[in-house]
Chains A and B, each alone.
Chain A
Amino acid sequence: MSKFDWAKIPELYTKIIPSITVTLEYVVIAFFFGLLFGGLLAWAKLGKSKILRALAYGYTTVMRCVPAIVLLFVVYYGLPRIIPIDTKGKVKFVAITLALFTTGSLSEAFRSAYQSLDKSQAEAAKSIGMTGPQALWFILLPQMIRIAIPNICNSLLALVKEGALAYTIGLYDLLGRGNYLIGKNLGAYVIETYVTLVIIYWPISLLITFGSKRLEALLDVSSRKERKRSAHA
Protein backbone atom coordinates (compact mmCIF):
# COMPACT_ATOMS: atom_id res chain seq x y z
CA MET A 1 0.00 0.00 0.00
CA SER A 2 1.55 3.26 -1.10
CA LYS A 3 1.74 6.19 1.28
CA PHE A 4 -0.06 9.45 0.71
CA ASP A 5 2.17 11.60 -1.47
CA TRP A 6 1.79 15.30 -0.67
CA ALA A 7 4.40 16.25 -3.28
CA LYS A 8 2.10 15.00 -6.02
CA ILE A 9 -0.65 17.50 -5.25
CA PRO A 10 0.81 20.66 -6.90
CA GLU A 11 1.36 18.72 -10.11
CA LEU A 12 -2.18 17.34 -10.11
CA TYR A 13 -3.50 20.80 -9.26
CA THR A 14 -1.89 22.40 -12.30
CA LYS A 15 -3.22 19.58 -14.45
CA ILE A 16 -6.80 19.80 -13.22
CA ILE A 17 -7.30 23.54 -12.79
CA PRO A 18 -7.57 24.42 -16.54
CA SER A 19 -10.82 22.41 -16.63
CA ILE A 20 -12.41 25.02 -14.39
CA THR A 21 -13.43 26.80 -17.60
CA VAL A 22 -15.78 23.92 -18.42
CA THR A 23 -17.30 24.02 -14.93
CA LEU A 24 -17.66 27.80 -15.12
CA GLU A 25 -19.22 27.53 -18.57
CA TYR A 26 -22.18 25.40 -17.53
CA VAL A 27 -22.55 27.19 -14.20
CA VAL A 28 -22.73 30.63 -15.83
CA ILE A 29 -25.10 29.55 -18.61
CA ALA A 30 -27.38 27.68 -16.22
CA PHE A 31 -27.36 30.54 -13.71
CA PHE A 32 -28.26 33.10 -16.38
CA PHE A 33 -31.21 31.10 -17.72
CA GLY A 34 -32.19 30.13 -14.19
CA LEU A 35 -32.48 33.79 -13.23
CA LEU A 36 -34.44 34.58 -16.37
CA PHE A 37 -36.94 31.74 -16.20
CA GLY A 38 -36.98 31.77 -12.41
CA GLY A 39 -38.17 35.36 -12.57
CA LEU A 40 -40.85 34.43 -15.09
CA LEU A 41 -41.96 31.49 -12.97
CA ALA A 42 -42.14 33.65 -9.85
CA TRP A 43 -44.28 36.11 -11.81
CA ALA A 44 -46.58 33.24 -12.80
CA LYS A 45 -46.81 32.09 -9.17
CA LEU A 46 -47.79 35.55 -7.99
CA GLY A 47 -50.10 36.25 -10.92
CA LYS A 48 -53.85 36.02 -11.14
CA SER A 49 -54.14 33.21 -13.68
CA LYS A 50 -55.00 29.99 -11.87
CA ILE A 51 -53.70 27.72 -14.63
CA LEU A 52 -50.32 29.45 -14.81
CA ARG A 53 -50.02 29.36 -11.04
CA ALA A 54 -50.79 25.64 -10.86
CA LEU A 55 -48.29 24.95 -13.65
CA ALA A 56 -45.57 26.99 -11.94
CA TYR A 57 -46.07 25.30 -8.57
CA GLY A 58 -46.28 21.89 -10.21
CA TYR A 59 -43.01 22.49 -12.02
CA THR A 60 -41.25 23.49 -8.78
CA THR A 61 -42.57 20.40 -7.01
CA VAL A 62 -41.32 18.10 -9.75
CA MET A 63 -37.88 19.71 -9.71
CA ARG A 64 -37.76 19.41 -5.94
CA CYS A 65 -38.60 15.71 -5.95
CA VAL A 66 -36.36 14.32 -8.66
CA PRO A 67 -32.62 13.63 -8.24
CA ALA A 68 -30.38 15.72 -10.47
CA ILE A 69 -28.67 12.68 -11.94
CA VAL A 70 -31.97 11.21 -13.13
CA LEU A 71 -33.00 14.46 -14.81
CA LEU A 72 -29.54 14.71 -16.38
CA PHE A 73 -29.93 11.25 -17.91
CA VAL A 74 -33.44 12.00 -19.10
CA VAL A 75 -32.24 15.20 -20.77
CA TYR A 76 -29.09 13.65 -22.17
CA TYR A 77 -30.77 10.62 -23.71
CA GLY A 78 -34.23 12.03 -24.28
CA LEU A 79 -33.61 15.44 -25.79
CA PRO A 80 -31.85 14.28 -28.98
CA ARG A 81 -34.89 12.08 -29.65
CA ILE A 82 -37.32 14.99 -29.54
CA ILE A 83 -35.35 17.72 -31.27
CA PRO A 84 -32.40 17.33 -33.64
CA ILE A 85 -29.48 18.31 -31.43
CA ASP A 86 -25.80 17.51 -31.67
CA THR A 87 -24.90 14.99 -28.95
CA LYS A 88 -21.19 15.78 -29.16
CA GLY A 89 -21.10 18.97 -27.10
CA LYS A 90 -22.06 17.58 -23.73
CA VAL A 91 -21.84 20.93 -21.96
CA LYS A 92 -25.26 21.96 -23.24
CA PHE A 93 -27.00 18.97 -21.71
CA VAL A 94 -25.47 19.72 -18.33
CA ALA A 95 -26.33 23.41 -18.70
CA ILE A 96 -29.94 22.61 -19.65
CA THR A 97 -30.37 20.21 -16.71
CA LEU A 98 -28.90 22.63 -14.21
CA ALA A 99 -30.95 25.50 -15.65
CA LEU A 100 -34.12 23.42 -15.21
CA PHE A 101 -33.24 22.88 -11.56
CA THR A 102 -32.21 26.43 -10.70
CA THR A 103 -35.31 27.79 -12.40
CA GLY A 104 -37.34 26.01 -9.75
CA SER A 105 -35.28 27.03 -6.74
CA LEU A 106 -34.74 30.63 -7.91
CA SER A 107 -38.44 31.12 -8.58
CA GLU A 108 -39.08 30.16 -4.95
CA ALA A 109 -36.40 32.62 -3.84
CA PHE A 110 -37.99 35.46 -5.84
CA ARG A 111 -41.52 34.58 -4.76
CA SER A 112 -40.68 34.50 -1.05
CA ALA A 113 -38.71 37.74 -1.37
CA TYR A 114 -41.65 39.46 -3.05
CA GLN A 115 -44.11 38.20 -0.47
CA SER A 116 -41.92 39.32 2.41
CA LEU A 117 -42.17 42.93 1.19
CA ASP A 118 -44.65 45.20 2.89
CA LYS A 119 -47.71 45.87 0.74
CA SER A 120 -47.64 49.54 1.66
CA GLN A 121 -44.43 49.94 -0.37
CA ALA A 122 -46.25 49.32 -3.65
CA GLU A 123 -49.18 51.46 -2.54
CA ALA A 124 -46.88 54.33 -1.57
CA ALA A 125 -45.20 54.13 -4.97
CA LYS A 126 -48.59 54.28 -6.67
CA SER A 127 -49.71 57.21 -4.54
CA ILE A 128 -46.85 59.36 -5.81
CA GLY A 129 -47.90 58.55 -9.36
CA MET A 130 -45.51 55.76 -10.32
CA THR A 131 -46.70 53.20 -12.86
CA GLY A 132 -46.61 49.49 -12.06
CA PRO A 133 -43.32 48.74 -13.85
CA GLN A 134 -41.74 51.86 -12.36
CA ALA A 135 -42.69 50.80 -8.85
CA LEU A 136 -41.30 47.35 -9.50
CA TRP A 137 -38.02 48.63 -10.90
CA PHE A 138 -37.28 51.47 -8.49
CA ILE A 139 -38.95 50.42 -5.24
CA LEU A 140 -39.66 46.70 -5.06
CA LEU A 141 -36.88 45.05 -7.04
CA PRO A 142 -33.93 46.59 -5.12
CA GLN A 143 -35.44 45.41 -1.84
CA MET A 144 -36.34 42.01 -3.25
CA ILE A 145 -32.80 41.40 -4.45
CA ARG A 146 -31.35 42.05 -1.02
CA ILE A 147 -33.81 39.67 0.66
CA ALA A 148 -33.33 37.01 -2.00
CA ILE A 149 -29.52 37.08 -2.01
CA PRO A 150 -28.90 34.27 0.52
CA ASN A 151 -31.27 31.98 -1.39
CA ILE A 152 -29.82 32.97 -4.76
CA CYS A 153 -26.31 32.21 -3.53
CA ASN A 154 -27.47 28.87 -2.16
CA SER A 155 -28.79 28.05 -5.63
CA LEU A 156 -25.47 29.05 -7.15
CA LEU A 157 -23.64 26.85 -4.67
CA ALA A 158 -25.97 23.97 -5.48
CA LEU A 159 -25.24 24.58 -9.18
CA VAL A 160 -21.50 24.17 -8.67
CA LYS A 161 -22.05 21.05 -6.58
CA GLU A 162 -24.66 19.37 -8.79
CA GLY A 163 -22.58 20.31 -11.82
CA ALA A 164 -20.02 17.72 -10.76
CA LEU A 165 -22.54 15.13 -12.01
CA ALA A 166 -21.50 16.21 -15.50
CA TYR A 167 -18.79 13.60 -15.24
CA THR A 168 -21.43 10.86 -15.28
CA ILE A 169 -22.27 11.64 -18.91
CA GLY A 170 -18.59 11.90 -19.75
CA LEU A 171 -17.95 15.63 -19.67
CA TYR A 172 -14.45 16.56 -18.55
CA ASP A 173 -15.12 19.27 -16.01
CA LEU A 174 -13.08 19.45 -12.77
CA LEU A 175 -14.21 16.10 -11.38
CA GLY A 176 -14.19 14.51 -14.83
CA ARG A 177 -10.66 15.71 -15.45
CA GLY A 178 -9.60 14.30 -12.07
CA ASN A 179 -11.08 10.91 -12.89
CA TYR A 180 -9.47 11.03 -16.32
CA LEU A 181 -6.06 11.59 -14.68
CA ILE A 182 -6.67 8.64 -12.36
CA GLY A 183 -7.35 6.49 -15.38
CA LYS A 184 -4.25 7.81 -17.08
CA ASN A 185 -2.15 7.03 -14.01
CA LEU A 186 -3.59 3.50 -14.10
CA GLY A 187 -5.34 3.94 -10.79
CA ALA A 188 -2.38 5.42 -8.95
CA TYR A 189 -2.65 8.55 -6.81
CA VAL A 190 -6.41 8.14 -6.44
CA ILE A 191 -6.69 9.75 -3.04
CA GLU A 192 -4.19 12.46 -3.95
CA THR A 193 -6.37 13.39 -6.94
CA TYR A 194 -9.56 13.60 -4.88
CA VAL A 195 -7.81 15.63 -2.18
CA THR A 196 -6.64 18.01 -4.92
CA LEU A 197 -10.27 18.32 -6.07
CA VAL A 198 -11.26 19.13 -2.48
CA ILE A 199 -8.63 21.88 -2.51
CA ILE A 200 -10.16 23.22 -5.72
CA TYR A 201 -13.87 22.96 -4.86
CA TRP A 202 -13.75 24.15 -1.28
CA PRO A 203 -12.43 27.68 -2.01
CA ILE A 204 -14.98 28.12 -4.81
CA SER A 205 -17.82 27.43 -2.39
CA LEU A 206 -16.29 29.55 0.36
CA LEU A 207 -15.95 32.38 -2.13
CA ILE A 208 -19.64 32.15 -3.05
CA THR A 209 -20.69 32.11 0.62
CA PHE A 210 -18.38 35.03 1.45
CA GLY A 211 -19.56 36.99 -1.60
CA SER A 212 -23.16 36.43 -0.57
CA LYS A 213 -22.54 37.90 2.89
CA ARG A 214 -20.61 40.88 1.51
CA LEU A 215 -23.26 41.64 -1.09
CA GLU A 216 -26.01 41.43 1.48
CA ALA A 217 -24.19 43.88 3.75
CA LEU A 218 -23.50 46.16 0.80
CA LEU A 219 -27.13 46.31 -0.28
CA ASP A 220 -28.48 46.84 3.20
CA VAL A 221 -29.10 50.57 2.88
CA SER A 222 -30.49 51.13 6.36
CA SER A 223 -27.46 49.68 8.12
CA ARG A 224 -25.14 51.51 5.71
CA LYS A 225 -26.56 54.82 6.84
CA GLU A 226 -26.10 53.77 10.44
CA ARG A 227 -22.47 52.96 9.83
CA LYS A 228 -21.86 56.29 8.11
CA ARG A 229 -23.49 58.13 10.96
CA SER A 230 -21.43 56.33 13.55
CA ALA A 231 -18.28 57.01 11.50
CA HIS A 232 -19.03 60.74 11.46
CA ALA A 233 -19.85 60.94 15.12
Chain B
Amino acid sequence: MLDWKFIGNTILKCASGIPETAILVIVTLIVSTPIAYLMALVNLKPKRILSRVFQVYISFVRSLPLLLIIYLIYHALPLWILSFGNFIGKEIDVYKIDDMVYGFIVFAFVSIPILSEVFRAGLLAVPEIQIKAGQSIGMTNFQVARHIVLPQVIDKQLPMLCTFTTNLIKMTSLAFYMSIREITGEARVAAADSIRYVECYLVIFFMYLIICLAVEQIFKAFERNSQKKKEGNWSKNYAGNTRTQKIVSGT
Protein backbone atom coordinates (compact mmCIF):
# COMPACT_ATOMS: atom_id res chain seq x y z
CA MET B 1 0.00 0.00 0.00
CA LEU B 2 2.56 2.59 1.12
CA ASP B 3 5.94 2.65 -0.56
CA TRP B 4 8.43 3.15 2.29
CA LYS B 5 11.45 3.80 0.11
CA PHE B 6 9.55 6.53 -1.70
CA ILE B 7 8.46 8.00 1.62
CA GLY B 8 12.07 8.06 2.83
CA ASN B 9 13.13 9.97 -0.26
CA THR B 10 10.23 12.37 0.12
CA ILE B 11 11.14 13.07 3.73
CA LEU B 12 14.64 14.06 2.61
CA LYS B 13 13.25 16.21 -0.21
CA CYS B 14 10.75 18.00 2.02
CA ALA B 15 13.32 18.43 4.78
CA SER B 16 15.40 20.48 2.34
CA GLY B 17 12.64 23.09 2.68
CA ILE B 18 13.07 23.36 6.44
CA PRO B 19 15.84 26.04 6.24
CA GLU B 20 13.58 28.26 4.12
CA THR B 21 10.73 27.89 6.60
CA ALA B 22 13.09 28.58 9.51
CA ILE B 23 14.56 31.67 7.86
CA LEU B 24 11.10 32.99 7.07
CA VAL B 25 9.93 32.50 10.65
CA ILE B 26 13.06 33.83 12.36
CA VAL B 27 13.53 36.91 10.17
CA THR B 28 9.82 37.72 10.47
CA LEU B 29 10.03 37.48 14.26
CA ILE B 30 13.18 39.65 14.42
CA VAL B 31 11.74 42.30 12.09
CA SER B 32 8.25 42.49 13.52
CA THR B 33 8.92 42.27 17.27
CA PRO B 34 10.37 45.80 17.79
CA ILE B 35 7.81 47.40 15.45
CA ALA B 36 4.97 45.54 17.16
CA TYR B 37 6.24 46.64 20.57
CA LEU B 38 6.28 50.30 19.54
CA MET B 39 2.81 49.88 18.05
CA ALA B 40 1.58 48.39 21.31
CA LEU B 41 2.99 51.41 23.20
CA VAL B 42 1.06 53.74 20.89
CA ASN B 43 -2.11 51.65 21.20
CA LEU B 44 -2.07 51.94 24.99
CA LYS B 45 -3.86 55.25 24.48
CA PRO B 46 -6.67 54.27 22.07
CA LYS B 47 -7.87 57.81 21.40
CA ARG B 48 -4.73 58.91 19.57
CA ILE B 49 -5.15 59.38 15.82
CA LEU B 50 -2.16 57.10 15.13
CA SER B 51 -3.67 54.42 17.33
CA ARG B 52 -6.97 54.63 15.40
CA VAL B 53 -5.04 54.08 12.17
CA PHE B 54 -3.37 51.07 13.78
CA GLN B 55 -6.74 49.69 14.82
CA VAL B 56 -7.89 49.75 11.20
CA TYR B 57 -4.66 47.95 10.26
CA ILE B 58 -5.27 45.32 12.95
CA SER B 59 -8.82 44.82 11.76
CA PHE B 60 -7.61 44.51 8.16
CA VAL B 61 -5.20 41.70 8.96
CA ARG B 62 -7.61 39.97 11.34
CA SER B 63 -10.45 40.04 8.82
CA LEU B 64 -8.90 38.90 5.57
CA PRO B 65 -7.76 35.46 4.44
CA LEU B 66 -3.97 35.19 4.45
CA LEU B 67 -4.02 33.95 0.87
CA LEU B 68 -5.76 37.15 -0.23
CA ILE B 69 -3.23 39.33 1.62
CA ILE B 70 -0.40 37.37 0.00
CA TYR B 71 -1.87 37.81 -3.47
CA LEU B 72 -2.53 41.49 -2.88
CA ILE B 73 0.94 42.37 -1.61
CA TYR B 74 2.73 40.09 -4.04
CA HIS B 75 1.05 41.80 -6.97
CA ALA B 76 0.78 45.37 -5.69
CA LEU B 77 4.20 45.76 -4.09
CA PRO B 78 6.28 45.60 -7.29
CA LEU B 79 4.13 48.37 -8.77
CA TRP B 80 4.63 50.53 -5.69
CA ILE B 81 8.37 49.92 -5.79
CA LEU B 82 8.42 50.84 -9.48
CA SER B 83 6.49 54.06 -8.98
CA PHE B 84 8.66 54.86 -5.96
CA GLY B 85 11.70 54.34 -8.19
CA ASN B 86 10.24 56.70 -10.76
CA PHE B 87 9.50 59.19 -7.99
CA ILE B 88 13.10 59.34 -6.81
CA GLY B 89 14.28 59.16 -10.40
CA LYS B 90 15.98 55.78 -10.22
CA GLU B 91 15.37 52.67 -12.25
CA ILE B 92 14.68 49.73 -9.94
CA ASP B 93 14.58 46.26 -11.42
CA VAL B 94 11.73 44.65 -9.46
CA TYR B 95 12.31 41.29 -11.07
CA LYS B 96 15.70 41.07 -9.38
CA ILE B 97 14.18 41.27 -5.90
CA ASP B 98 14.35 37.88 -4.27
CA ASP B 99 11.02 36.17 -3.51
CA MET B 100 12.19 35.72 0.05
CA VAL B 101 12.08 39.51 0.49
CA TYR B 102 8.41 39.49 -0.47
CA GLY B 103 7.93 36.64 1.98
CA PHE B 104 9.52 38.66 4.80
CA ILE B 105 7.37 41.69 3.95
CA VAL B 106 4.11 39.74 3.78
CA PHE B 107 4.66 37.75 6.96
CA ALA B 108 5.93 40.80 8.87
CA PHE B 109 2.86 42.69 7.65
CA VAL B 110 0.50 40.07 9.11
CA SER B 111 2.60 39.40 12.23
CA ILE B 112 2.98 42.97 13.46
CA PRO B 113 -0.68 43.55 14.40
CA ILE B 114 -1.06 40.17 16.09
CA LEU B 115 2.17 40.61 18.07
CA SER B 116 1.27 44.17 18.99
CA GLU B 117 -1.98 42.94 20.54
CA VAL B 118 -0.01 40.34 22.50
CA PHE B 119 2.39 43.01 23.78
CA ARG B 120 -0.44 45.43 24.55
CA ALA B 121 -2.12 42.88 26.79
CA GLY B 122 1.22 42.30 28.52
CA LEU B 123 1.87 46.03 28.96
CA LEU B 124 -1.56 46.56 30.48
CA ALA B 125 -0.68 43.99 33.13
CA VAL B 126 2.37 45.96 34.36
CA PRO B 127 1.25 48.23 37.22
CA GLU B 128 2.04 51.86 36.56
CA ILE B 129 3.44 52.29 40.05
CA GLN B 130 6.41 50.12 39.10
CA ILE B 131 7.32 52.47 36.27
CA LYS B 132 7.09 55.42 38.62
CA ALA B 133 9.18 53.56 41.18
CA GLY B 134 11.83 52.96 38.56
CA GLN B 135 11.86 56.61 37.54
CA SER B 136 11.99 57.73 41.16
CA ILE B 137 15.28 55.92 41.73
CA GLY B 138 16.72 57.77 38.73
CA MET B 139 16.34 55.21 35.94
CA THR B 140 16.04 56.56 32.42
CA ASN B 141 12.95 55.62 30.39
CA PHE B 142 15.01 53.14 28.44
CA GLN B 143 16.30 51.51 31.61
CA VAL B 144 12.76 51.26 32.97
CA ALA B 145 11.64 49.58 29.76
CA ARG B 146 14.65 47.26 29.67
CA HIS B 147 14.78 46.18 33.33
CA ILE B 148 11.25 46.55 34.65
CA VAL B 149 8.62 46.46 31.91
CA LEU B 150 10.00 44.20 29.21
CA PRO B 151 10.93 41.19 31.38
CA GLN B 152 7.43 41.14 32.85
CA VAL B 153 5.69 41.54 29.48
CA ILE B 154 7.65 38.69 27.97
CA ASP B 155 7.24 36.56 31.07
CA LYS B 156 3.48 37.02 31.15
CA GLN B 157 2.92 36.63 27.44
CA LEU B 158 5.19 33.63 26.87
CA PRO B 159 2.25 31.27 26.21
CA MET B 160 0.76 33.74 23.72
CA LEU B 161 4.12 34.14 22.00
CA CYS B 162 4.30 30.36 21.73
CA THR B 163 0.88 30.20 20.08
CA PHE B 164 1.88 33.00 17.76
CA THR B 165 5.13 31.31 16.73
CA THR B 166 3.42 28.03 15.90
CA ASN B 167 0.78 29.97 13.96
CA LEU B 168 3.53 31.73 12.06
CA ILE B 169 5.10 28.39 11.16
CA LYS B 170 1.71 27.28 9.88
CA MET B 171 1.24 30.52 7.96
CA THR B 172 4.52 30.05 6.10
CA SER B 173 2.97 27.00 4.45
CA LEU B 174 1.37 29.49 2.06
CA ALA B 175 4.72 30.98 1.05
CA PHE B 176 4.62 28.62 -1.91
CA TYR B 177 2.28 31.13 -3.55
CA MET B 178 5.16 33.59 -3.58
CA SER B 179 7.34 30.97 -5.31
CA ILE B 180 9.29 30.21 -2.12
CA ARG B 181 10.32 26.57 -1.92
CA GLU B 182 9.75 25.93 1.78
CA ILE B 183 8.41 22.66 3.22
CA THR B 184 5.01 22.79 1.53
CA GLY B 185 6.56 24.04 -1.70
CA GLU B 186 9.00 21.12 -1.81
CA ALA B 187 6.18 18.71 -1.06
CA ARG B 188 4.07 20.10 -3.89
CA VAL B 189 6.95 19.75 -6.31
CA ALA B 190 7.62 16.21 -5.11
CA ALA B 191 3.93 15.37 -5.39
CA ALA B 192 3.65 16.75 -8.90
CA ASP B 193 6.79 14.87 -9.97
CA SER B 194 5.68 11.49 -8.66
CA ILE B 195 1.87 11.84 -8.79
CA ARG B 196 1.80 10.34 -5.28
CA TYR B 197 0.00 13.14 -3.60
CA VAL B 198 -1.15 11.38 -0.45
CA GLU B 199 2.29 10.15 0.57
CA CYS B 200 3.90 13.55 0.03
CA TYR B 201 1.31 15.49 1.95
CA LEU B 202 1.21 12.94 4.76
CA VAL B 203 4.97 13.36 5.11
CA ILE B 204 4.72 17.11 5.61
CA PHE B 205 1.64 16.64 7.80
CA PHE B 206 3.82 14.82 10.30
CA MET B 207 6.77 17.13 9.64
CA TYR B 208 4.76 20.20 10.64
CA LEU B 209 3.34 18.31 13.61
CA ILE B 210 6.81 17.45 14.92
CA ILE B 211 8.19 20.95 14.31
CA CYS B 212 5.30 22.69 16.07
CA LEU B 213 5.40 20.27 19.01
CA ALA B 214 9.15 20.87 19.33
CA VAL B 215 8.64 24.65 19.31
CA GLU B 216 5.97 24.29 21.99
CA GLN B 217 8.33 22.24 24.14
CA ILE B 218 11.06 24.88 23.78
CA PHE B 219 8.68 27.59 24.95
CA LYS B 220 7.53 25.40 27.83
CA ALA B 221 11.17 24.98 28.89
CA PHE B 222 11.57 28.78 28.86
CA GLU B 223 8.45 29.11 30.98
CA ARG B 224 9.70 26.59 33.52
CA ASN B 225 13.06 28.31 33.59
CA SER B 226 11.63 31.75 34.27
CA GLN B 227 9.32 30.30 36.89
CA LYS B 228 12.25 28.71 38.67
CA LYS B 229 14.30 31.89 38.47
CA LYS B 230 11.46 33.92 39.88
CA GLU B 231 11.02 31.58 42.82
CA GLY B 232 14.74 31.58 43.47
CA ASN B 233 15.01 35.37 43.43
CA TRP B 234 11.96 35.70 45.58
CA SER B 235 13.21 33.56 48.42
CA LYS B 236 16.71 35.06 48.21
CA ASN B 237 15.80 38.73 48.12
CA TYR B 238 12.27 39.45 49.10
CA ALA B 239 10.93 36.63 51.23
CA GLY B 240 9.36 37.91 54.41
CA ASN B 241 9.82 41.53 53.40
CA THR B 242 6.22 42.72 53.21
CA ARG B 243 7.13 46.22 52.07
CA THR B 244 8.81 45.07 48.86
CA GLN B 245 6.00 42.59 48.32
CA LYS B 246 3.51 45.42 48.42
CA ILE B 247 5.47 47.53 45.97
CA VAL B 248 6.05 44.69 43.54
CA SER B 249 2.42 43.61 43.49
CA GLY B 250 1.40 47.22 42.97
CA THR B 251 -0.94 47.70 45.90
Residues of A within 8 A of B (CB): 1, 61-62, 64-71, 73-74, 77-78, 81, 157, 160-165, 167-168, 175, 179, 190-191, 194-195, 197-198, 201-202, 204-206, 209
Q: A74-B202, A179-B71 are in contact. List 11 more A-B contacts (CB 8 A).
A: A1-B83, A67-B171, A70-B187, A73-B197, A163-B65, A164-B68, A165-B65, A167-B67, A191-B76, A195-B72, A198-B68
- Contact partner of B205 (CB less than 8 A), chosen from A1, A74, A160, A175, is A74
Given A74-B205, A190-B75, A67:B65 Cβ within 8 A: no
Judge whether B65 and A70 touch: CB under 8 Å.
no
Interface of A is mostly: helix
| Alpha-carbon distance A81/B209, docked complex (angstroms) | 23
Number of B residues contacting the other chain (C-beta, 8 Å)?
35
Query: Which residues of the other chain, B, contact A161 by a CB distance below 8 angstroms?
Result: 63-66
Query: In the complex, how many angstroms separate the beta carbon of A163 from the nearest chain B beta carbon?
Result: 8
Judge whether A71 and B205 touch: CB under 8 Å.
yes
- Contact partner of A191 (CB less than 8 A), chosen from B75, B173, B208, B209, is B75
Query: In the complex, how many angstroms separate the beta carbon of B189 from the nearest chain A beta carbon?
Result: 13
Query: Which residues of the other chain, A, contact B204 by a CB distance below 8 angstroms?
Result: 70
Judge whether B198 and A69 touch: CB under 8 Å.
no
Given A73-B201, A202-B60, A202-B63, A68:B170 Cβ within 8 A: yes
Given A64-B212, A66-B209, A78-B202, A201:B65 Cβ within 8 A: yes
Judge whether B198 and A77 touch: CB under 8 Å.
yes
Judge whether B64 and A201 touch: CB under 8 Å.
yes
Judge whether B173 and A67 touch: CB under 8 Å.
yes
Q: B62 interface residue, CB < 8 Å from A?
A: yes
Q: Which of B71, B76, B82 has the most chain A CB within a 10 Å cutoff? A: B71
Q: Which of A77, A168, A206 has the most chain B CB within a 10 Å cutoff? A: A77
Judge whether A67 and B184 touch: CB under 8 Å.
yes
Query: Which residues of the other chain, A, contact B133 by a CB distance below 8 angstroms?
Result: none
Q: For A204, give the chain B residue with the smallest CB separation.
A: B63
The 8 A-B residue pairs with the shortest CB-CB distance, nearest first, are A164-B65, A205-B63, A65-B212, A67-B173, A77-B197, A67-B170, A73-B201, A194-B72
- Contact partner of B63 (CB less than 8 A), chosen from A64, A195, A206, is A206
Q: B59 interface residue, CB < 8 Å from A?
A: yes
> Quick one: CB contact mask for B157-179 with A, threshold 8 Å, 1 for yes?
00000000010011101100000
| Alpha-carbon distance A175/B212, docked complex (angstroms) | 28
Query: Which residues of the other chain, B, contact A67 by a CB distance below 8 angstroms?
Result: 169-171, 173-174, 184, 208
> Quick one: CB contact mask for B25-61 with A, threshold 8 Å, 1 for yes?
0000000000000000000000000000000000110
> Quick one: CB contact mask for B138-168 with A, threshold 8 Å, 1 for yes?
0000000000000000000000000000100
